[in-house]
């Protein structure tokens, strides 16, 4: 039996102000962000606009700017900020003893198989 | 200090407290205040002393206080209240069946109610050498005594001893301060890039670092400890993961605390991160309660003292059957380092819908940031002037609507609550004529008003007219208020600011970076009063470029401030894959290179192979994780990065020139190769293209390039400012020269002029239209200027002509390309 949280490794793997990617077999790739102040967030790695890889955007505050068309996406809610409208799914993330954990069902929830079911 | 053994219980409940620290004793105090007679109390303490104020250990270490000063409850207090104190005898077991606790000595004590207040343990990072003599934590008086002994002993050569403090949080910095005051040479090693990152934002953290360094401490951020070094069975220093070694006779680990839950776990009480309690501090066992740093309440564990007081109140209320319930605490922090004022409260990490109000006064070293959401204060960070900390904290806790005082909120309580003064314009109107507005240039309100009355109807006009707000800019808001007051609605909007994070223009920022010798992004943001904590996607890349251009070889490139193309040295495409362009000097290639390109295209599944407008070959559809490998292959065939992705020199397009063409007048291909070899790798305000045509037929289309050369019989025509982009623009003729050397020199000078003068993301075409071709010609007509500019360009090139692909192919910054982990269905669904 595996717990409901997936261990994805130590926080120190992500330089503050950047993100890293987590591919999910049969599901949506996830982007794991760490802000300059050290907070961690996870989003599906697709801008709600034209599916740009948010993991490659510039992170400022708790916001990432999509590298394709500069939409600003909130890391906390996944919502597009400013005049843009759209939302990308967020994945609950917790940090414990320096390691990051993602909520399993949320990771799976964006697996294409789960959607079809 | 023991209570009489034959104390008559008289039907009173037996209350046992495990933990003689701040929480345990406070709980008892609260209880005694409500019901002095209701309980027979026994307190177990692991430390062999009475209850003292642990948060005051820092001043004891710093020599500002003695142990006696920080004792909370003396032996008399225990006796007077009939409390049995069992000190120096830690509890080892709780027997819930028989409701008894058993201590190390074998002593057992029955209870009707039990309070667990075991606090927390310092976190020890599991590195080799952690158990060596000379490695200490910073938790209790014993630790302080060990540190003081090390400070007194001095170093091996009789000089002051050296200490390394691992952890740049609250505790670590207080330890470092104390040791530093005791005469030790202290190095603080912090994993994160910002000191006290849980309490401070980047800007405040930077100010704190500067101040501590000024005081002689060495602060290493982003430093990961690999191991603790040993010599003669004693600690000798530490080694960082990057290989640096720091010698020291004392190593203090102050990286954090974790709830002390072993006892509770053994007893089978529900424990997650801490001992789980409800709003009345009751654990999963109704007879057992818990308070302090060992508990987890509504998912939160606290490491500060204020929540502890709240918990103890709720616990006592519950015990006397008047339950009030604890709803969690909002916490605030101050750093107890003398002479450094620092306050932090609530949420300042910048959440949705929250707005930042930021004030920076570089001259006074003051930084204030108040975070507001829905007209309520939700967080505050103050550095340098914390006088209003308690006021902001009060607003925060009460959740008061601040819409009415918002304009003046950042100026503090006195200003914001001053009735009529709540309008900042009114406050400025109330100033006397000789009140100083601009401290840098000594300009009074009267002078500014006179300047405005004299026709300066915009901020910029005031800046050039009377110099107010022209230096550090901290008085910009005041000047704007004066403009509004004096002119009513007639204020002319000034030139466009760099972005919403600053009131300065690109020109101002570039000028001030040089004038004030600003050498890092957080420093620019602090000194120039950025209104956001760490900028935005627009100013970060611009600042990175400006610093890179201003301080070649010195400024360390900030990858996270670069657009993805420059960070990954490849072009992102609409489907999230990348394209890769190897450099082909002057457009020349050979069979070996073509073969390598073809092999790479096949091996890495390039879906499209395209000849670019700049005469290079573009491989499309490469995946991020394959980039280092394809670069390694192309490097192996002798090719380097074409920078086709960068705000940088892209290509030098050529025709075949005199070698083959019957009209060619000069060796245009040869010159193109030379120019490309001199200019490649150079970062620019925008992409930069060059072409060399061998005759006026202009087959290389040199007249729509940023820098174009047209070879003619008598020499070389040099053209600038062309652009084939959205706004097609033909070049202006800059000048004509006779030799290749002169053409190359002028090219270097022109590029450097553009690099130093243009705004970030401004092509040469729009730059020249803004500043005028005449001013460019004038500057470059002066041979001395040309020589100086070209020399500066060459210096800068010394530091930029290294192939970024080769570095990455060798494994540098592999984290930018590799996934953090991989999730496979099997891992997720082991049951299936």
**Numbers of helices and strands, H then E, in chain B:** 27, 38
Say if residues B120 and B260 touch (Cβ distance below 8 Å): yes
Q: Is the pLDDT of residue B421 over 70?
A: no
**CB atoms B194 and A12 under 8 Å:** no
- B351 touching chain A per CB within 8 A: yes
Give the residues across from B196 on adjacent strands. Answer: none
Say if residues A66 and A57 touch (Cβ distance below 8 Å): yes
Of residues B637 and B386, the one with the higher pLDDT is B637
What pLDDT, on a 0 to 100 scale, did the predictor assign at position B162?
94
What pLDDT, on a 0 to 100 scale, did the predictor assign at position B5?
41
Q: How would residue B675 be classed by pLDDT, with cut points 50, 70 and 90?
A: very high
Contacts of A36 in chain B (CB under 8 A): 193-194, 201-202, 533-534
- B29 touching chain A per CB within 8 A: no
| Segment B188-214 mean pLDDT | 90
Q: Is the pLDDT of residue B8 over 70?
A: no
**CB atoms A81 and B352 under 8 Å:** yes
What pLDDT, on a 0 to 100 scale, did the predictor assign at position B155?
75
For B825, the enclosing helix (H) or strand (E) is helix B825-828
Q: Is the ipTM of this complex over 0.85?
A: yes
Residues B425-471: tens digit of each pLDDT: 666 776 778 777 776 566 788 889 999 888 888 887 887 778 787 65
Residues 6+ apart with CB under 8 A from B177: B58, B62, B337, B338
Say if residues B744 and B675 touch (Cβ distance below 8 Å): yes
d(CA B35, CA B320): 7
Instruction: Give Dmax (Cα) for chain A.
Output: 45
- B561 touching chain A per CB within 8 A: yes
**Residue among B191, B823, B831 whose CB faces A6 most closely:** B823
- B820 touching chain A per CB within 8 A: yes
Q: In what order do the strands lie in the sheet with B732-737?
A: B649-654, B688-693, B707-712, B715-720, B732-737
d(CA B744, CA B679): 10
How close, in Å, is residue B39 to chain A by CA atoms? 38
Say if residues B694 and B664 touch (Cβ distance below 8 Å): yes
What pLDDT, on a 0 to 100 scale, did the predictor assign at position B471?
58
* Mean pLDDT of all residues belonging to chain B: 88
- B126 touching chain A per CB within 8 A: no
| Segment B620-639 mean pLDDT | 94
Contacts of B574 in chain A (CB under 8 A): 50, 68
**CB atoms A21 and B819 under 8 Å:** yes
Candidates A28, A61, A107, partner chain B, best to mutate (most B CBs within 10 A): A61
Residues 6+ apart with CB under 8 A from B220: B187, B188, B189, B190, B240, B244, B246
d(CA B387, CA B359): 14
**Residue among B194, B534, B574 whose CB faces A60 most closely:** B534
What pLDDT, on a 0 to 100 scale, did the predictor assign at position B202?
86
* Cα angle for residues A13, A17, A21 (degrees, 5° grid): 50
In chain B, which among 184-223 make CB contacts under 8 A with chain A?
Answer: 191-194, 197-198, 201-202
Contacts of A30 in chain B (CB under 8 A): 823
Three-state SS annotation for B82-108? CCEEEECCCEEEEECCCCEEEECCCCE
What pLDDT, on a 0 to 100 scale, did the predictor assign at position B2?
39
Closest CA to B483 of B425, B443, B433, B528: B425
For B541, the enclosing helix (H) or strand (E) is helix B539-550
d(CA B608, CA B195): 48
**Count of CA atoms in the C-beta half-sphere (13 A) of B291:** 30
Stretches where chain A sits below pLDDT 50 are 1, 112-117
**Residue among A15, A20, A79 whose CB faces B560 most closely:** A15
Contacts of A57 in chain B (CB under 8 A): 537, 564
How close, in Å, is residue B623 to chain A by CA atoms? 12
Q: How would residue B85 be classed by pLDDT, with cut points 50, 70 and 90?
A: very high
Closest CA to B157 of B37, B249, B61, B48: B249
Tokens of B436: 């100083």
d(CA B620, CA B640): 17
Closest CA to B18 of B379, B367, B294: B294
Which of B484-493, B514-523, B682-691 shows the lowest per-residue confidence on average (mean pLDDT)?
Answer: B484-493
Closest CA to B110 of B120, B124, B100: B100
d(CA B150, CA B738): 73
B443 φ/ψ angles, rounded to the nearest 5 degrees:
-105, 130
Query: Is residue B172 classed exposed, middle or buried when 0-12, 13-18 and 19+ CB atoms within 10 A define those classes?
Result: buried
Candidates B568, B819, B826, B829, partner chain A, best to mutate (most A CBs within 10 A): B819
CA dihedral B628, B633, B636, B638 (to 10 degrees): -90
* Reported pTM: 0.62
How close, in Å, is residue A17 to chain B by CA atoms? 6
Strands (DSSP E) along B374-456, which ranges?
A: 376-383, 436-438, 443-444
DSSP state, B772? -
Residues B649-659: tens digit of each pLDDT: 999 999 998 88
Pairs of residues, one from chain A and one from chain B, whose beta carbons lie less than 8 Å apart: 138
Three-state DSSP at B381 gives strand
In this structure, the number of other CB atoms found within 10 A of the CB of residue A69 comes to 12
- Sort residue B685 into left (φ over 0), alpha (ψ -120 to 50) or beta: alpha
d(CA B294, CA B264): 10
Q: Is the pLDDT of residue B831 over 70?
A: no
**Count of CA atoms in the C-beta half-sphere (13 A) of A110:** 23
Query: Is residue B592 classed exposed, middle or buried when 0-12, 13-18 and 19+ CB atoms within 10 A define those classes?
Result: exposed
Contacts of A74 in chain B (CB under 8 A): 352
What pLDDT, on a 0 to 100 scale, did the predictor assign at position A115?
38
Q: Is the pLDDT of residue B525 over 60?
A: yes
Which of B41-45, B287-291, B808-812 shows the lowest per-residue confidence on average (mean pLDDT)?
Answer: B808-812
Token pair 């069946």: residue:
B97
Say if residues B242 and B287 touch (Cβ distance below 8 Å): no
What pLDDT, on a 0 to 100 scale, did the predictor assign at position B442?
67
Query: Is residue B366 classed exposed, middle or buried when 0-12, 13-18 and 19+ CB atoms within 10 A define those classes?
Result: middle
In our burial notation (b when 16+ CB lie closer than 10 A, e otherwise), range A35-65 reads bbbbbbbbbbbbbbbebbbbbbbbbbbbbbb
Say if residues B12 and B39 touch (Cβ distance below 8 Å): yes
Tokens of A5: 């949280």
**Residue among B273, B560, B576 whose CB faces A59 most closely:** B560
Query: CA Rg, chain A, in Å?
Result: 14
Residues B709-741: tens digit of each pLDDT: 999 999 999 999 998 876 789 999 999 999 999
Q: Is the pLDDT of residue B9 over 60?
A: no
**CB atoms B828 and A6 under 8 Å:** yes
What pLDDT, on a 0 to 100 scale, did the predictor assign at position B420?
42
Tokens of B22: 């701040």
Q: How would residue B567 be classed by pLDDT, with cut points 50, 70 and 90?
A: very high
- Sort residue B600 into left (φ over 0), alpha (ψ -120 to 50) or beta: alpha
Q: Is the pLDDT of residue B389 over 50?
A: yes
């Amino acid at each position: 039996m595996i717990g409901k949280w997936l261990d994805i490794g130590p926080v120190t793997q992500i330089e503050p102000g950047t993100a890293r990617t987590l591919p999910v077999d049969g599901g949506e790739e996830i982007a794991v962000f760490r802000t300059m102040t050290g907070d961690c967030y996870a989003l599906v790695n697709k801008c709600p606009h034209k599916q740009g890889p948010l993991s490659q955007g510039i992170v400022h505050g708790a916001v990432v700017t999509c590298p394709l068309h500069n939409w600003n996406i909130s890391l906390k809610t996944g919502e597009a900020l400013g005049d843009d409208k759209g939302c990308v799914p967020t994945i609950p993330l917790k940090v414990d003893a320096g390691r990051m954990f993602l909520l399993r069902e949320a990771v799976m929830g964006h697996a294409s198989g789960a959607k079809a079911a | 200090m023991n209570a009489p053994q034959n104390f008559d219980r008289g039907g009173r409940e037996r209350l046992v407290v495990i933990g003689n620290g701040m929480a345990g004793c406070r709980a008892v105090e609260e209880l005694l205040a409500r019901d002095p007679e209701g309980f027979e109390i026994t307190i177990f303490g692991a430390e062999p002393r009475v209850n003292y104020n642990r948060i005051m250990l820092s001043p004891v270490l710093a020599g500002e206080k003695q142990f006696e000063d920080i004792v909370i409850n003396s032996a008399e207090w225990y006796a007077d209240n009939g409390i049995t104190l069992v000190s120096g005898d830690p509890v080892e077991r709780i027997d819930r069946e028989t409701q008894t606790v058993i201590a190390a000595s074998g002593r057992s004590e029955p209870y009707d109610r039990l309070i667990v207040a075991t606090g927390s343990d310092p976190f020890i990072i599991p590195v080799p050498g952690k158990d060596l003599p000379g490695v200490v934590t910073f938790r209790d008086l014993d630790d302080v005594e060990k540190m003081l002994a090390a400070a007194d002993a001095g170093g091996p050569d009789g000089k002051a001893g050296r200490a390394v403090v691992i952890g740049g949080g609250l505790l670590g910095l207080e330890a470092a301060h104390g040791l530093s005051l005791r005469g030790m040479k202290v190095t603080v090693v912090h994993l994160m890039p910002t000191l006290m990152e849980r309490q401070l934002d980047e800007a405040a953290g930077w100010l704190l670092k500067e101040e501590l360094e000024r005081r002689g401490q060495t602060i290493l951020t982003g430093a990961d400890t690999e191991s603790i070094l040993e010599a003669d069975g004693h600690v000798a220093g530490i080694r960082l993961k990057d290989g640096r070694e720091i010698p020291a006779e004392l190593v203090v680990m102050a990286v954090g605390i974790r709830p002390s839950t072993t006892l509770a776990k053994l007893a089978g009480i529900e424990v997650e991160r801490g001992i789980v309690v409800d709003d009345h501090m009751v654990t999963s066992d109704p007879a057992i309660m818990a308070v302090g740093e060992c508990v987890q309440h509504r998912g939160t564990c606290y490491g500060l003292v204020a929540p502890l007081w709240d918990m103890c109140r709720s616990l006592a209320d519950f015990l006397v059957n008047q339950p009030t319930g604890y709803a969690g605490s909002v916490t605030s922090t101050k750093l107890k380092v003398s002479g450094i004022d620092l306050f932090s409260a609530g949420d300042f990490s910048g959440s949705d819908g929250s707005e930042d109000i930021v004030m920076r006064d570089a001259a006074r070293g003051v930084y204030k940031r108040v975070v507001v959401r829905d007209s309520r204060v939700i967080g505050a960070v103050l550095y340098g002037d914390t006088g209003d900390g308690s006021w902001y904290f009060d607003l925060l806790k009460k959740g008061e609507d601040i819409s009415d005082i918002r304009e003046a909120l950042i100026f503090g309580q006195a200003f914001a609550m001053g009735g009529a003064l709540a309008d900042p314009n009114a406050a400025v109107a109330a100033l006397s004529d000789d009140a100083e507005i601009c401290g840098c240039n000594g300009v009074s309100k009267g002078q500014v008003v006179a300047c405005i009355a004299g026709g300066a109807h915009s901020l910029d006009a005031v800046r050039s007219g009377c110099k107010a707000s022209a230096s550090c800019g901290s008085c910009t808001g005041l000047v704007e208020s004066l403009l509004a007051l004096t002119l009513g609605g007639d204020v002319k909007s000034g030139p466009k600011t760099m972005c919403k994070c600053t009131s300065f223009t690109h020109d101002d920022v570039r000028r001030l970076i040089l004038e004030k010798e600003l050498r890092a992004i957080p420093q620019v943001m602090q000194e120039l009063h950025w209104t956001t904590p760490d900028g935005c996607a627009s100013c970060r890349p611009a600042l990175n470029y400006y610093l890179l251009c201003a301080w070649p070889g010195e400024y360390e490139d900030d990858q996270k401030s670069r657009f993805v193309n420059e960070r990954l040295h490849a072009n992102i495409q609409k489907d999230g894959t990348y394209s890769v362009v190897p450099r082909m000097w002057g457009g020349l290639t050979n069979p070996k290179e073509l073969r390598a390109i073809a092999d790479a295209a096949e091996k890495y599944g390039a879906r499209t192979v395209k000849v670019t407008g700049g005469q290079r070959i573009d491989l499309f559809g490469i995946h991020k994780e394959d980039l280092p490998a394809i670069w390694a292959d192309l490097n192996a065939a002798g090719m380097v990065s074409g920078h086709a992705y960068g705000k940088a020199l892209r290509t030098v397009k050529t025709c075949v020139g005199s070698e083959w063409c019957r009209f060619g007048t000069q060796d245009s291909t040869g010159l193109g190769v030379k120019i490309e070899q001199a200019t490649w790798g150079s970062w620019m305000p925008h992409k930069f293209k060059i072409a060399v045509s061998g005759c006026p037929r202009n087959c290389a289309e040199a007249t729509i390039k940023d820098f174009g050369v047209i070879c003619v019989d008598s020499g070389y025509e040099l053209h600038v400012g062309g652009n084939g982009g959205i706004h097609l623009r033909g070049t202006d003729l800059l000048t004509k020269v006779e030799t290749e050397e002169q053409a190359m020199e002028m090219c270097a000078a022109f590029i450097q002029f553009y690099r130093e003068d243009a705004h970030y993301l401004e092509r040469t075409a729009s730059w020249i239209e803004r500043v005028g071709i005449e001013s460019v010609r004038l500057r470059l007509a002066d041979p001395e200027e040309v020589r100086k500019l070209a020399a500066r360009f060459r210096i800068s090139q010394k530091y930029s002509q290294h192939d970024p692909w080769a570095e990455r192919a060798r494994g540098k910054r592999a984290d930018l390309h590799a996934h953090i982990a991989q999730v496979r269905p099997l891992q997720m669904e082991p049951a299936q």
